[in-house]
Chains A and B, each alone.
Chain A
C-alpha cells in the first residue's frame, strides 16, 4: 500500500556507533556481551508471551485433578500432561459447545460479509463520488470512531431493545454491519487507485456500480482482506456485547460460553482450558498464516494519526 511505512523495515540505528572495520578483540568483547544480553532479552520476552498459551493448550489435554498436582515445584510436568486425555473436549461438546461455535462462526461471517458490502460502498462514495458537503459527512464518520464503545454499551442496549432486536441473531449482527474505521482505511486506499482505470471503465460503459465492481474492488484485494480479517477477529472475540444482548442459551457465542464454565461454587479448569483453546485456535491460525495483513491493519490504525 503506497504511503504506508512498512513497519518491518530494518531500522538499525545503532549501526552508526559500531566500529566500521574489524578491531582488536578487546573492543569487540562488550559487543559480544551486548549481543548475548540482547538474545537473553529476546528469550525472556518470548517466554513471557508464549508460556501462558502453552500452559493453556497443554492443560486442555489433562484431567481435572492432574492440572494442579504438578504446579509446584516448577518442572516439565507442570506443562506436559502425564496422562493425555480428550475428556475435557468431550465434556464441553456434550454441554453444547458445538452450537456455540457455530453461533460464533455464523455471527462473525455475517458481520464480515455485510461489512464488506456496506463499508466498501461507503468508502467508494468518499473516494470517488461527488456529493455536496461530502467533507462534512467524512468528518461525521471519523467522529463516530471517537465514540467510546463500552461506555455507551448500555445505551446501545436500550436502542436495540426498542428495535426489538435483543436476544436474537440480528441483535448480534446488525449493530456492526458498518464500521467507521474500516470505511476510513478503505477510502484512503481507494484514493490511491489511479482514476485512469475508472475512466477506462466508464468509456466501456460502466456506471458507478460497474466501476466499483470492475476497477476498485479487484485493485483493493489486499486492503479488503485486511479489513475482513480485522472485523472477523473483532466480532469473534467480542464478549461484552453478546453478554448483555442475548440471554437465551441457544444464542450464546463461544466467548460468553467460556465464562459460564466458572461459577462461584466450582471452576471447571479443564473445560475452561479446552474451550479457550478451541476459541483461540481459529483466530491464532488466521493470524500466523496472514501476519502481514494483521500488522498492516494495526499500522493503518496507528498511522492515520
Chain B
C-alpha cells in the first residue's frame, strides 16, 4: 500500500517511518493489551500462585513450591474428576460428531421442510447453556419431569436420571449434545457444500453405489471439517462446568464432578486458591496435549 511521503531527507525518512509504524501500532495496541492482560497474564499468575498457599480470604501464605502439584498426583478426588471428564468427552465427542454429520447429510437438501428443521436444530445453540441446563434438569425430574411423563405413558418404568450415579453423567451428556449438535451440523453442512458435484457424478458413472460414494468421496473430503469439529468439541467438552453446577453440583457421589467443577470448588468453596491454580495449570496442559494429539491423528488432507 502506498504510504504517502514527501521527498525525504535521510534522517527524516527514518524518523517518519518509525512514526508511521507507531501510528499503525496504535490501532492494534488496545486489543493486544486485552489479550495480554486477560488471557496470557492469568496463565502466568496461576503458575505463580500455584507455588503458594493462597486463599481469597487469607491472602498469600507461605511459599510451598511444587507441593500443590504433588498433592494433585495423590488426590483421589482429582483422579475421579479426571475420570469423569474423560468419560464425558468420550461419550460426547463421537456421538455429537456422528449425529452432526448425520443431520447434515439428512438436511442438506434445499427444501422448505429442511430449512425449518435446520433452524430448529440450531435453536438450542443460541440459547444460553444455563437455560438449557435448568430446562433439562426439570425435564429429567424423577416424578414430575417431562421425559418420565413420556416414558410412563409409553409403559416404560420411570428413570431416576440425574439422581442416579450411573445415569447422571449420560443424562447430562445427552443434554449437552442436544445443545451443541446444531453448531457442528452447520459446519458440516458448509463442508458438504464445498464438495464439487462432479465427483459424485463421475463415481455414479463408474458404478459406485451410495455407500461407496459416501466412504470414498464424502468422508475423505470432509476430513478437515471433521478435524475442526472434533478438536473444538473435545476442547469445549473438557471444560464442562455450567451443566454440572446447575443440574447436579457434581453429584450424585461425584459421578458428575468434572475437573473444572473441582477447580471451582477448590477456589471458591474450599478457599484453596493455590491448589485451584495448580489444578488449572494441569488441566490447561492436558487440554493442549489432547488437542495436539488429535490434530496429529487426523492430519492430512485429500486433494483430488
Contact = CB atoms under 8 A, between A and B. Distances in A.
B28 A122 contact: yes
Interface stretch (B6-14, B76-84, B139-147): B139-147
Contact of B130 (A67, A72, A78, A258): A258
A151 B117 contact: no
B239 A150 contact: yes
B195 interface: yes
Interface in A209-262: 233, 236-237, 239-240, 243-244, 255-256, 258-259, 262
A291 B28 contact: no
A144 B43 CA distance: 12
A48 interface: yes
- Taking chain A's interface residues, is the majority helix, strand, or loop, or is none over half, making it mixed? helix
B126 A259 contact: no
Contacts of B225: 302, 305
Contacts of A287: 122-123, 126
Contact of A302 (B1, B103, B186, B240): B186
Contacts, number: 307
Given A131-B25, A148-B235, A42 B114 contact: yes
Q: Which of B143, B190, B264 has the most CB of A within 10 A?
A: B190
A78 B108 contact: no
B160 to A, nearest CB: 16
A10 B110 contact: yes
Contact of A158 (B27, B45, B136, B178): B45
A17 B204 CA distance: 7
A122 B276 CA distance: 34
Nearest to A49: B120
Given A121-B27, A130-B21, A305-B227, A155 B46 contact: yes
Interface stretch (A80-88, A92-100, A174-182): A174-182
Contacts of B125: 298
B109 A12 contact: yes
Contact of A118 (B31, B122, B134, B209): B31
Contact of A303 (B136, B153, B190, B260): B190
Contact of B276 (A46, A154, A276): A154
Contacts of A42: 106-107, 113-114, 117
B68 interface: no
Contacts of A162: 45
A169 interface: no
A11 B108 contact: yes
Given A74-B149, A154-B277, A298-B183, A178 B30 contact: yes
A266 interface: no
Given A154-B46, A155-B42, A298 B187 contact: yes
A72 B3 CA distance: 73
A141 B42 contact: no
Given A48-B178, A237-B129, A5 B190 contact: yes
A71 B138 CA distance: 12
B128 A73 contact: no
Contacts of B5: none
Contact of B195 (A11, A48, A180): A11
Given A159-B45, A195-B1, A302 B190 contact: yes
A230 to B, nearest CB: 10
Contact of A9 (B110, B127, B264): B110
Contacts of A16: 200-201, 203-204, 213
Nearest to A117: B30
Interface in B230-265: 235, 238-242, 245-246, 260, 263-264
Contacts of B91: none
Q: Which of A13, A56, A158, A161 has the most CB of B within 10 A?
A: A13
Given A56-B135, A125-B24, A305-B225, A49 B34 contact: no
Contacts of B150: 74
A262 B130 contact: no
Interface of B: 1-4, 20-21, 23-25, 27-28, 30-32, 34-35, 37-43, 45-46, 49, 56, 103, 106-110, 113-131, 134-139, 143-146, 148-150, 152-153, 178, 182-183, 186-187, 189-195, 197, 200-201, 203-204, 209-210, 213, 218, 224-225, 227-229, 235, 238-242, 245-246, 260, 263-264, 267-268, 273, 276-277, 280, 283-284, 287-288, 291
The 4 nearest A-B residue pairs measured at CB: A302-B187, A155-B46, A155-B42, A150-B239
Given A208-B23, A283-B127, 15 more contacts: A8-B115, A53-B123, A53-B127, A125-B28, A130-B1, A131-B24, A151-B287, A159-B45, A175-B34, A177-B34, A202-B2, A239-B130, A276-B134, A287-B126, A298-B122
